[in-house]
Chain A
Amino acid sequence: MGMEQLVEKYFRPGRLPHIWCPGCGHGIITGAIVKAVDKLGLSKDEVAVISGIGCSSRASGYLDFNTANTLHGRALPIASGLKMANPKLKVIVPSGDGDATAIGGNHLIHAARRNIDLTLVVYNNSIYGMTGGQYSPMTPKGSKATTAPYLTIEPAFNLLDLAKAAGATFVARSTTFHVQNMVDCIAKGIQHKGFSIIECVSACPTNFGRQNRMGAAPKMMEWQRDHAVMVGAWNRMDEETRAKAIADGKFPIGVLYENNDVQEYTEAYDDLIKRAQGGK
């Protein structure tokens, strides 16, 4: 199905054009979610999209699933309760870098630790866009932001290492340049039984690119093209080459980690219910 038909099928009628700025990568990520759902052949009724607050979190309102645009940082707890109430739902959480790693950071590590079957799609544009360009925990050190006129002195999280260390059992990264790869990562994340995180590197030309002289949206996407390395190639690099790649700001994309040996949370809870009711 082409994008035109996908929009027709999965977007709520009359809600486009969306609110995102010209060149914002968030539309590409939201499109990738829809493509992933379609690729998996899921029915719209079995998909829930629960978001928090921020540019990214507006995604839920456009999509014709069971959707919620909740509170800043709180999408994961609400999604967790929903998943507990109805484990059959495929629950996808679009979340920005501020939403997921700052105000919602505690919820992120605990949802990962529980290995609850949610698919967290982080729209990482390295900035607070909706409030006008303040630095987030994902803003690279040394960047300019409206709250960092003398450049940020805080290092950024390595989000995927953080999630993996906390217990996430599916970890992937992609960029808005690498659309097919992104669709693939999100689809695999949805299929994965357990907590999945897909970091989607997005461009915010209005509030990050402009302040940091990165050029307009196409230039920012070329930056993604030139800095992302497919995970296979990344893994084949020798130590020295990889160290140089990291020093050059390069990063791997694709499925970086998957572990299918950890029991998923709602399944573990079903076992608990059996024990509570006298079974073994």
Chain B
Amino acid sequence: MLKLVSKRCKGCGICVNFCPKKVLEVTEVGKCAIIAGKEKDCIQCGQCEMRCPDYAIFVEKDK
């Protein structure tokens, strides 16, 4: 599961760029979001969380 904190997100696109599964996009309102239907493609690698400069995206590991 990805947790997005849209209040902090500035829509820079770093997470989108470095997501190996291309799960993310920057929406029209300038915030990062999971592309509809791609939720299950996330492999929880943490590339997005690691490089997000705004602390706005976190990987919550599935139990």
Do the two chains bind? yes
Starting from the known contacts A18-B54, A218-B12, 7 additional A-B residue pairs (CB-CB under 8 Å) come to: A17-B54, A24-B12, A27-B54, A28-B52, A216-B13, A221-B17, A221-B51
Q: When A4-B3, A18-B54 are in contact, do A217 and B12 touch as well, CB less than 8 Å? A: yes
Binding site for B on A (CB under 8 A): 2-4, 7, 11, 16-18, 20-28, 31, 176-177, 179-180, 205, 216-218, 221-222
- Which residues of chain B have C-beta atoms less than 8 A from A22's C-beta? 10-12
- Which residues of chain B have C-beta atoms less than 8 A from A221's C-beta? 14, 17-18, 51
- Which residues of chain B have C-beta atoms less than 8 A from A218's C-beta? 12-14, 16-18
- Please, what's the 1-or-0 string for B1-37, where 1 marks a CB less than 8 Å from any CB in chain A? 0010001101111101110000000000000000000
With CB as the reference atom, state the residue of chain B lying closest to A177: B51
Inter-subunit contact A20/B53 (CB<8 Å): yes
Inter-subunit contact B12/A176 (CB<8 Å): no
Can you list 21 A-B pairs, Cβ within 8 angstroms, ordered by A?
A2-B58, A2-B59, A3-B58, A7-B55, A11-B55, A16-B8, A17-B54, A17-B56, A20-B54, A22-B11, A22-B12, A23-B53, A27-B54, A27-B55, A28-B52, A31-B55, A176-B51, A218-B12, A218-B13, A218-B18, A221-B14
Inter-subunit contact B55/A16 (CB<8 Å): yes
Interchain CA distance A20-B59 in the complex, whole Å: 23
Interchain CA distance A205-B11 in the complex, whole Å: 13
Inter-subunit contact A28/B51 (CB<8 Å): yes
Inter-subunit contact B8/A24 (CB<8 Å): no
Name the interface residues of B38-63: CB closer than 8 Å to any CB of A. Answer: 49-56, 58-60
With CB as the reference atom, state the residue of chain B lying closest to A221: B14
- Which residues of chain B have C-beta atoms less than 8 A from A24's C-beta? 12, 53
Inter-subunit contact A217/B7 (CB<8 Å): no
Inter-subunit contact A17/B7 (CB<8 Å): yes
Interchain CA distance A218-B54 in the complex, whole Å: 14
Inter-subunit contact B55/A179 (CB<8 Å): no
With CB as the reference atom, state the residue of chain B lying closest to A18: B54
Residue of B18, B55, B60 most packed against chain A (CB within 10 A):
B55
Inter-subunit contact A28/B53 (CB<8 Å): yes
